[in-house]
């Protein structure tokens, strides 16, 4: 009987996990002319969110944030999905490593 309970608990746990870790909201950030648009994006605190980064430039750019612990190279004319959170309230900066002088942004978490 004990082994049946353990297996059943494992099935329940794994059946729930994808929903528990799914991002609740999706936000788009566009890279155009080596800049992030919008440069400031407000997202909710305490929730996992999906950032869809659409690089409309012909050249690649890297979405990088030391505070978010994320790095992702996005080839020209393509999109990438980056999951973040849940985060506490505050500001989290990100930048494009290949064009750091112009590609700057931040997430404002409220």
76-94 pLDDT, tens digit each: 999 999 999 999 999 999 9
2-41 pLDDT, tens digit each: 544 444 444 444 444 444 445 579 999 999 999 999 999 9
Q: Quick one: tokens of 39? A: 């440069």
Backbone φ, ψ for residue 8 (5° rounding): -60, -45
Residues 50-77 have a mean pLDDT of: 98
Amino acid 24: pLDDT: 76
Say if pTM beats, i.e. exceeds, 0.95. Answer: no
Flag whether pLDDT at 70 surpasses 70.
Answer: yes
Amino acid 39: pLDDT: 98
Instruction: Give the strand order in the sheet containing 104-109.
Output: 40-43, 104-109, 90-96, 61-65, 70-74
């Amino acid at each position: 009987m004990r082994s049946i309970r353990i297996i059943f608990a494992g099935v329940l746990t794994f059946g729930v996990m994808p929903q528990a870790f799914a991002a609740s909201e999706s936000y788009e950030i566009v890279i155009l002319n080596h800049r992030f648009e919008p440069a400031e994006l407000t997202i909710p605190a305490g929730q996992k969110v999906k950032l869809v980064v659409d690089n409309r430039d012909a050249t690649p750019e890297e979405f990088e944030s030391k505070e978010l612990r994320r790095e992702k190279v996005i080839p020209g004319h393509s999109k990438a999905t980056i999951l973040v959170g849940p985060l506490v309230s505050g500001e989290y900066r990100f930048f494009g490593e290949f064009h750091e002088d112009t590609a700057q942004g931040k997430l404002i978490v409220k």
